[in-house]
Structure 1
Amino acid sequence: MLAVLTGDFIGSGDWSPGDLDRAHHALAAQADRVADWSGGSTAYTRNRGDGWQMVLHRPEMDLRAALAMRAVLRVEGKTFATRIAIARGEGEVPGRDLNRAHGPAFTKAGHALDAMEDEITMVHTSGGILGAATLFADALSFGWTPAQARALAPMLAPDPPTHAEVAKALGISRSAVSQALAAADYDHIARALDAYEADG
């Protein structure tokens, strides 16, 4: 079993080609970081211009990965946002090319993205508790500011760095990192993700 994240950019019709490239570059780089803690290549793939897709070999980490992708994109600016549909199930990825991938997980994720309601920007096709947690995460994360997202992006890893390490990497003060994380409710997010993953 694997998890599939399928997304597209919100309002990208007003973006320049450079904006699209920046967005995809940010997500691809974050996908590589997600691969370090999710058990293998995410095979991040750009599709349909403003669409993207990635796969996780540890399905229980799907919501953490979705939030990590949303955070790193918001770092690019307050107008940079993505819809994300999450699905779990069987699937095959020939040659690590998601444009050639097939299987129930990919089909469910694609259909869920196409059917997403305007006011919802993140869904989990499993429904139930997973679906509910994803909707809460959607509501909380969509309002992140670029400053909050910049501090959050590295902290969403399952084994996060210290505030001091994040501050050094970003070239800002430790207090600025702590303030941004507090404003983004990071402590609640971290505890919720740990519980979500422990429940499988």
Structure 2
Amino acid sequence: MIWTVFTGDIVDSSALSADRLDDVMACLDRLSDDISAWGQGATAAFGRRGGDGWQLAVNPAEYTLRSTLYLQSSLMALEPAVQTRIAVATGKGTLSDANPNSAHGPAFSASGRLLETLTGNTLLAHAAGGPLDATYRLADHIAQGWTQAQARAVAEMLPPGTGPRRVAADRLGISRQAIDQALHAAGYPALHDALTLLETSE
């Protein structure tokens, strides 16, 4: 079976209390449920790896970069904000139960190995390399500049079929003008175009 595997760890996790880290992991688990609802008949399996590590496997992989940005923006929208590294790979794999820690196969191995190579300021990358990885790294550069308000606005707009901006503004309790300003400052229009091109070419 083909899986997209997201392997990550929390940035500066040593600064978080054990309870706070548990809360962050619970948030990622909830986000995995959101992502699984994006595709008809999709399956998602989330598991914690060690203290600050995690892994998410999704099949089918319709919204790979969108899912990556949704995970990052949702964590950055928390109070206080948190960031995570995310190494992504798509390929064959075997998942015998709902816990990706027991999974094996090229996609799981490639994602885990890529995470080990992420150094410096790089937080988001794709194991495929080439143009796709370049897109991830440019998106990463944009995402790292988000304020908490911008991350909240982006996270509201990323789920497929989320509706117009005024609906997202209502959910956030802000004006349409405020969400427009936040999304523009967050680089969302360019990200939206990139996501549309990627998803229509797959």
What band does the TM-score fall into relative to the shorter chain?
A: over 0.9
- After the TM superposition, which residues 46-61 of structure 1 pair with which residues of structure 2 at under 5 Å, given as runs? 46-61=48-63
Letter in 1 for 2:101: N
| Structure 1 contact 151–180 (Cα < 8 Å) conserved | yes
| Structure 2 contact 43–60 (Cα < 8 Å) conserved | no
CA distance in 1, matches of 2:22, 2:169: 27
Q: The residue matched to 2:4 in structure 1 has which SS?
A: strand
Q: Hey, what does 2:134 align to over in structure 1?
A: 132
Letter in 1 for 2:63: M
Query: Is it true that 1:80 corresponds to 2:82 in the alignment?
Result: yes
Question: 1:153 deviation in Å?
Answer: 0.6
Q: The residue matched to 1:59 in structure 2 has which SS?
A: coil
Deviations 1:130-180 (A, max 9, x none): 111111111111121110111111211232222221122122222221111
CA distance in 2, matches of 1:58, 1:41: 7
- After the TM superposition, which residues 147-186 of structure 1 pair with which residues of structure 2 at under 5 Å, given as runs? 147-186=149-188
Question: 1:10 deviation in Å?
Answer: 0.5
Letter in 2 for 1:85: A
| Structure 2 contact 73–154 (Cα < 8 Å) conserved | yes
Q: Structure 1 residue runs of 4+, over 4 Å off? A: none
Q: The residue matched to 1:42 in structure 2 has which SS?
A: strand
Query: Is it true that 1:12 corresponds to 2:13 in the alignment?
Result: yes
Question: 1:50 deviation in Å?
Answer: 0.8
Deviations 1:49-104 (A, max 9, x none): 21111112133421110000000000114651000000011011111111111111
CA distance in 1, matches of 2:156, 2:44: 17
The alignment's C-alpha RMSD in Å is 1.4
Unaligned runs of 5+ in 2: none
Match of 2:47 among 20, 45, 48: 45
CA distance in 2, matches of 1:161, 1:50: 34
Q: Hey, what does 1:22 align to over in structure 2?
A: 23
CA distance in 1, matches of 2:96, 2:70: 25
| Structure 1 contact 71–150 (Cα < 8 Å) conserved | yes
| Structure 1 contact 4–88 (Cα < 8 Å) conserved | yes
Question: 1:199 deviation in Å?
Answer: 2.3
TM-score, normalising length: structure 1: 0.94
CA distance in 2, matches of 1:172, 1:131: 34
| Structure 2 contact 39–62 (Cα < 8 Å) conserved | no
Deviations 1:11-39 (A, max 9, x none): 00111112212211222222111111134
Unaligned runs of 5+ in 1: none
Q: Hey, what does 1:100 align to over in structure 2?
A: 102
| Structure 1 contact 122–138 (Cα < 8 Å) conserved | yes
Q: Hey, what does 2:35 align to over in structure 1?
A: 34
Query: Is it true that 1:198 corresponds to 2:195 in the alignment?
Result: no
Aligned pair count reads 200
